[in-house]
Amino acid sequence: MSKDERQLSHSQNFLRNSKLVAKLVAGSEISSDDTVFEIGPGKGIITHQLAEKAMKVIAVEYDKKLANSLKRAFAEYENVEIIFGDFLQVKLPRQGNYKVFSNIPFNLTADILERLTSVVNPPQDSYLIVQEDAAKKYAGSPYGEERLRSLMLKPRFELVITYRFKSTDFYPVPRVNIVMLRIQKRRQCLLSPKDMNAYGDFVAYAFGQHGKNLKERLKRIFTNEQFRRQASERKFSPSARPGDLNFDQWLDLFRYFIKGVSDDKQAITHGSCSRLTREQRKLEKIHRTRCVKGKIGR
């Protein structure tokens, strides 16, 4: 087994019970008209159930031995295609609807969700088995406080935790809680493309500024009276932190920002999203470098 394969096997917990998988697939909105992508099918316990329900199943497996085994197991299934490769590099449909149903490698959660939500033609529906902590970061309220990630996604997607697993549902038994996260593309984005860019900058600016609360972070944009009035009308505390507001309150605050704030103050936020993204990537690169050095030094 290669180093990459060992890292992959250590990051993925496989489902044991085919009846549970059948229940989950039956409870989804996957139909006989759907093309479904599966990421990391492993030994095919989910693939079998998807093949019974979907028009087409495209299962992408990174482990060569597992991919070859799957090709043999599904050789007689006309509606199943097994691809040996990296899902992050596989071409996704640029038009038309498709869905995703997967028990994904947990160490690739951020990369996989980034791809599924940022491609030109995102999946109409995604059902992903992930760690609960990760699901909360992306789904935000009502499962926890809103994060930058959840707020960036919600104008285009609805995110819901649809199922909570028992640790004994998997092998090896995970040490963390596992859930099913559904990411459903909205029929229509809640913001225009232009406003979507401005919204991203506005939220990123608020999260990127220093200050113990939102009022301090947005002091260059809103006057004290403007912020006090918005807090009263949107029913949040004047001393609220960014994570204390739910998505609807953020959306209303942004809409006021677009209509009630001067152009020069709006310009303060321009480019905040791309700057914050670059800073986060630098931090992630430093973290990965330190992790690698730590492993080498052991």
CATH of the domain at 117: 3.40.50.150
Q: Residues 171, 222: one domain?
A: no
Q: Residues 198, 54: one domain?
A: no
Q: Residues 83, 223: one domain?
A: no
Q: Read off the tokens for 195.
A: 């406003």
Using pLDDT thresholds of 50, 70 and 90, give the confidence band for residue 12.
confident
Task: Give pLDDT, residue 7.
Answer: 43
| 297: in domain | no
Q: Residues 95, 139: one domain?
A: yes
Using pLDDT thresholds of 50, 70 and 90, give the confidence band for residue 8.
very low
- Sign of the C-alpha dihedral computed for residues 82, 87, 90 and 91 taken in this order: positive
pLDDT of 202 above 70? yes
Q: Residues 173, 206: one domain?
A: no
Strands 170-171 and 14-15: antiparallel
Q: What is the chain's mean pLDDT, rounded?
A: 92
Task: Give pLDDT, residue 283.
Answer: 67
Residue 43's H or E segment, with its range, is none
Q: Residues 178, 202: one domain?
A: no
Query: What pLDDT digit, counting tens, does each position of 183-199 carry?
Result: 999 999 999 999 999 99
The residue among 122, 150, 185 that closes a domain is 185
Q: To 10 degrees, what angle do helices 109-118 and 132-139 make? A: 30
Look up the pTM and report it. Answer: 0.90
| Domain count for the chain | 2
| 12: in domain | yes
In percent, the amount of the chain with pLDDT more than 90 equals 88
Q: Residues 221, 181: one domain?
A: no
Query: What pLDDT digit, counting tens, does each position of 97-153 carry?
Result: 999 999 999 999 999 999 999 999 999 999 999 999 999 999 999 999 999 999 999
Q: Read off the tokens for 264.
A: 């020069």
Q: Residues 241, 101: one domain?
A: no
| 211: in domain | yes
What is the distance between the alpha carbons of residues 246 and 102, in angstroms, rounded to a whole number? 28
pLDDT of 294 above 90? no
Query: What pLDDT digit, counting tens, does each position of 229-285 carry?
Result: 999 999 999 999 999 999 999 999 999 999 999 999 999 999 999 998 887 777 665
Q: Residues 123, 153: one domain?
A: yes
Structural domain including 207 reads 193-277
